[in-house]
A and B are shown apart, each in its own frame.
Chain A
C-alpha cells in the first residue's frame, strides 16, 4: 500500500500552491524574466568599442589601416579628433574607450619600406573591455603589418620567398563560432533553477511553524521523512516545468542547441533539482521565521553562484576558494549541463560530477529529515 500520509501531504501542498495564484504566476514568469535579462546581460562579447581617431597623415596608406580596424566590428569610429588633448578629453569623460594615433609620416614611411609607428591608447579601467580590445587591436595591427610587408616584397619581386616558418591552424570544437550564448545559457539554466528552487522551499516548513499549523501536525503519527518528501514532491514537479520553460526559450530564442541526449539532460536536471530543493528545506528547518528563511536563502545563494564558475572561472580563483567551490552543487551541475547540452557527451564522461551531486542530495535530505523534530521547543 502506498503511504497514505505521504499522499495526503502532497495533495495538501498542491491545493495550497494552486490556491495562491499570484505566487504560482511568479514561479513561472520569473524564470522567463531572469533568462531574458541575464541572457543578454551576462555576456563577455566586446563589440563596438567607441574609438577616437587622430589621423595626422591622411594618406592612402593611413586610410587603408583605418579600414582594417573598421572592418573588424570590435571598434566603432565615433570621433575624429585633431589633437592628442582632444582625444584625452574624450577618453577622460568615457565617451571614447580607445584612441588611435597615426603620425604625419605614416604613409611616407610605408612607401619607403621603413618602419612606421602607430599609437593605440586604451582605457584600462574596465579590464575585460580593455583586454579584448587590446588583443583585437594588436591582432589587426599585426595582420596589417604582414600584409604591408608582403605587398612591399611583391613590388620588389620577392613574393615567392615569404612563407611564415610556423603556421598554427586553429580548430574550435563544440562552439566553432565562439557564440557566447552557448556558454551563458546552459549556465543560466543551472543558476535560475537553483535560485528558484531554494527560494520556493526555504519557507515550506518554517511557514507551518509560523502559522501554528505545526501544533496540529505534530500530534499526528507523521514521520519527518514523510513531511520532507511530501513537501518536496510538488516543488520538484513545478521546478521541472520551469526547467522545460527555460530549455525551450534557450533553444528557440537564444538558438542554443541541445547537442546531447535530451532525456539524460532532463534526468540529471531532476537530480540537481532534488538537491537544491533539499537545500531549501534544510534552510526551512533551520530558520525561525519565514523572513529569516528568505534571508538565509539569499545569503547562501549569492556566494554559491559566484563560486560555481558561472561568472568567473574556478581555475582563476585563489586555492582556498577553489576548495570551497567543491561544496557548491551548482558547480557540478554547470559542468554537467554544459557537457551534455553543448558537448553532447554521455553519462560516462561526467560520472564524477553526477555521483558527487547525488551524494550531496542524499546528505542534504538526510540532514533536513534529521533536523525536523516533532516538537514545538
Chain B
C-alpha cells in the first residue's frame, strides 16, 4: 500500500544552518503523526518541504506516491495545509475566504457553497460566515484555517502548530475535529506541536532535534525505554528536596511538576534510590510524603531526548 506521506532523506540548509538534516519517515493512511521537538528543530521547515513550499537540497517527499516537486499539482490536490502563521485574507469574510480557496482548487462554482457551509458547520463557524477573518478570535482563526485547508477534500492534512496561542477549551475542540476527520473521512494527519498532551493523542510521534529524527513510534513505544526510570517524589520544602535529589548519584534529571518532582534515574537503580533517598531527605529536614515509580510521560522523554541532543552537540 502507498504511504500517505513519505519523506526520504530530506535535507534543507539555510545560510549554512542545517534546518532539516536527513529526515526520513512515513505516515500510513489514517494515521495521526505527531511531530514534536524544541523550537528551531526544523518542524516548520519539514512541513514546508512536505507541501512543496520549499525545494529540498536533496532527498524527496511524496504524497500518496506523488513527488511534491516533480508532480506538484497531483501532490497538492491531496494536501490541506494549515500554516503556523495565520495565512488567510483578513479583509475578506469567512465565506469569501472559503470561496476564494475553493475556486483556487478548481471546485466548480455550483459546488463551493454547499461544501463551504458543510465545512463551516463542521468547524462550528457557520454563525460567523459574514465576519471578516481579521475580526475572529485566535481560536476561530485557526478553525477557519482548518476549514480552508479542508475545502477541497484533501486526503492528507499538514498542520503546523495549529493550536499555538489558543485557549485549552478550543484546543480540545480542535483535536476533536481532527480525530473526527480521521475517523469519518480517512484523512491522514501530520501535526507539529510543542504540547506533549497533544503529542500523546497521536497514533505515532516523531521526535526531531536539530533537523534530525531522534526516535519515533507510538506514544507507548516511545516512553517504554523510560519504564521504571521515573520516580515521583512528594514532600516539603520543595526546594531543599530538589537539591537533595539532584545530588543523588543515580538521579540523571529532576523536573518540578507543581508540588512534586519527577526524577529520572539510571536504568535498574529504582529500588536503590527508593531505599536511599528517604533517609537522605530526612537528615536534611525534608518532610517526605511519598516516593514511587510512575509511568513515563512523553514530556519526560522529550526532556531526556532534548538533553541528549544537546550533549551530542
Binding site for B on A (CB under 8 A): 4-5, 7-8, 11-12, 15-16, 19-20, 211-222, 374-377
Q: Is the CB of B91 within 8 A of A4?
A: no
Name the one of B14, B76, B85, B90 contacting A215, with C-beta atoms under 8 angstroms: B85
The docked-state distance in angstroms from the alpha carbon of A211 to that of B97 is 15
User: Which listed segment binds A: B46-54, B233-241, B284-292?
Assistant: B46-54
A15 CB to nearest B CB, Å: 6
Kindly name the residue among B73, B91, B104 whose own CB sees the greatest number of chain A CB atoms within 10 A. B104
Inter-chain contacts of A215 with B (CB < 8 A)? 53, 81, 83, 85, 87
With a CB–CB cut-off of 8 A, which chain A residues contact B55?
375, 377
A212 touches B86 (CB 8 A): yes
CB neighbours (8 Å) of B103 from chain A are: 4-5, 7-8
Q: Contact: A216 with B53, CB < 8 Å?
A: no
Residue in B closest to A8 when the chains form the complex, CB atoms: B103
**How far does the alpha carbon of A27 sit from the alpha carbon of B30 in the complex, in Å?**
52
User: Least Cβ distance of B51 to chain A in Å?
Assistant: 5
Bitwise interface map of B from 50 to 79 toward A, beta carbon under 8 Å scored 1, else 0: 011111000000000000000011001101
Question: How far in angstroms is the closest Cβ of chain B from A55?
Answer: 72
11 additional contacts (CB under 8 A) given A11-B100, A16-B92: A4-B103, A5-B104, A16-B91, A212-B85, A215-B53, A216-B88, A218-B53, A219-B76, A220-B104, A221-B73, A376-B54
Supposing A4-B106, A220-B104, A376-B53 touch, asked if A12 and B48 sit within 8 A by C-beta, the answer is no
Which B residues from 7 to 54 make CB contacts under 8 A with A?
14, 48, 51-54
Could you say which of B53, B76, B89 contacts A220, with CB atoms under 8 Å apart? B76
Q: Which of chain B's residues have a CB closer than 8 A to the CB of A212? A: 83, 85-87
Q: In the complex, which of the residues A5, A20, A218, A222 contacts B52, with contact meaning CB atoms closer than 8 Å?
A: A218
Bound Cα distance from A53 to B96, whole angstroms: 74
Q: Is B192 in contact with chain A by the CB < 8 A criterion?
A: no
Q: List 14 A-B contacts (CB under 8 A).
A: A5-B103, A15-B96, A211-B90, A214-B87, A216-B83, A216-B101, A218-B52, A219-B76, A219-B79, A220-B104, A221-B106, A222-B104, A375-B54, A377-B53
Tell me if B148 is interfacial: C-beta within 8 Å of chain A: yes
Instruction: Verify if B109 is at the interface (C-beta below 8 Å from A).
Output: yes
Q: Known contacts A12-B100, A16-B92, A20-B91: does B105 contact A221 (CB below 8 Å)?
A: yes
> Which B residues contact A (CB, under 8 angstroms)?
14, 48, 51-55, 72-73, 76-77, 79, 81, 83, 85-92, 96, 99-101, 103-106, 108-109, 148
Query: For the complex, what is the distance from the CA of A217 to the CA of B103, rounded to whole Å?
Result: 11
B211 to chain A, nearest CB (A): 15
Contact A217-B104, Cβ < 8 Å, known A16-B89, A212-B87: yes
- CB pair A219 B106 closer than 8 Å: no
- Complex alpha-carbon distance, A8 and B51, angstroms: 22
Given A4-B103, A216-B148, A219-B79, are A375 and B53 neighbors across the interface (CB < 8 Å)?
A: yes
**B91 touching A19, Cβ below 8 Å:** yes
Q: Which of A216, A219, A221 has most chain B Cβ within 10 Å?
A: A219
Contact assessment for A221 and B53 in the assembled complex, using a CB-CB cutoff below 8 Å: no
In the complex, A314 Cα to B77 Cα: how many Å? 54
CB distance from A227 to the nearest CB of B (A): 10
Complex interface: chain A residues within 8 A of B90 (CB) = 211
User: What's the Cα separation between A220 and B87 when bound, in Å?
Assistant: 13
Point out the residues of chain A lying under 8 angstroms from B79, CB to CB.
219
Please name all residues of chain A whose beta carbon is closer than 8 Å to the beta carbon of B14 when the two chains form the complex: 377
Q: Do A220 and B85 form a contact, CB below 8 Å, given A4-B109, A5-B106?
A: no
A376 CA / B83 CA spacing, docked (Å): 12
B170: shortest Cβ distance to chain A, in Å? 21
List, in ascending order, chain A residues with CB within 8 A of B86's CB.
Answer: 212
Distance, CA A35 to CA B48, complexed state (A): 48
Q: Which residues of B contact A16 (CB under 8 A)?
A: 89, 91-92
CB-based closest 8 A-B pairs? A8-B103, A220-B104, A212-B87, A215-B83, A376-B53, A215-B87, A212-B85, A19-B91
> Which residues of chain B are near A219, meaning CB under 8 Å?
51-53, 76, 79, 81
